[in-house]
Amino acid sequence: MNAPARLPGRIGPRTLLFTTAVPLTGWAVHALALRRQIADGRKDPLTGLLGRAELLAHVQRQLRRSRSGLHVLMLDGIRFKAINDTFGHAGGDAAIRTLGRRLASWSAGRRALAARLGGDEFAVSVVLDPATALSEITALREQLQQPFPFEQHTLHLGVTAGIARAADLPGEDAARILRGADTAMYRVKKGEATFPYCATRADAYVKTVNGRRAGRRGTHLLAGAA
| Cα–Cα distance for residue pair 209/47, rounded to 1 Å | 28
Vertex 203 angle, CA 168 and 217, to 5°:
140
| Cα–Cα distance for residue pair 91/147, rounded to 1 Å | 13
| Cα–Cα distance for residue pair 70/55, rounded to 1 Å | 13
Position 34 scores a pLDDT of 43
| Cα–Cα distance for residue pair 126/59, rounded to 1 Å | 8
Position 47 scores a pLDDT of 97
Position 181 scores a pLDDT of 98
Position 180 scores a pLDDT of 97
120 is an active site residue: yes
Catalytic site residue from 120, 168, 182, 203: 120
CA-based torsion, 31, 37, 38, 40: positive or negative: positive
What's 14-48 look like in SS3? HHHHHHHHHHHHHHHHHHHHHHHHHHHHHCCCCCC
Measuring CA to CA, which residue among 154, 161, 150 is closest to residue 193? 161
Residue ranges of the chain with per-residue pLDDT less than 50: 7-11, 13-22, 30, 32-34, 37-38, 210-211, 218-226
DSSP 166: G
Contacts with 156 (C-beta within 8 Å, 6 or more apart), sequence order: 79, 145, 147
Contacts with 87 (C-beta within 8 Å, 6 or more apart), sequence order: 94, 150, 151, 153, 155
Please tell me the pTM assigned to this model.
Answer: 0.77
| Contact of 174 with 113, CB cutoff 8 Å | no
| Cα–Cα distance for residue pair 129/139, rounded to 1 Å | 14
| Cα–Cα distance for residue pair 32/34, rounded to 1 Å | 5
CA atoms within 13 Å, Cβ hemisphere of 96: 23
Position 42 scores a pLDDT of 76
Measuring CA to CA, which residue among 187, 112, 111, 101 is closest to residue 144? 101
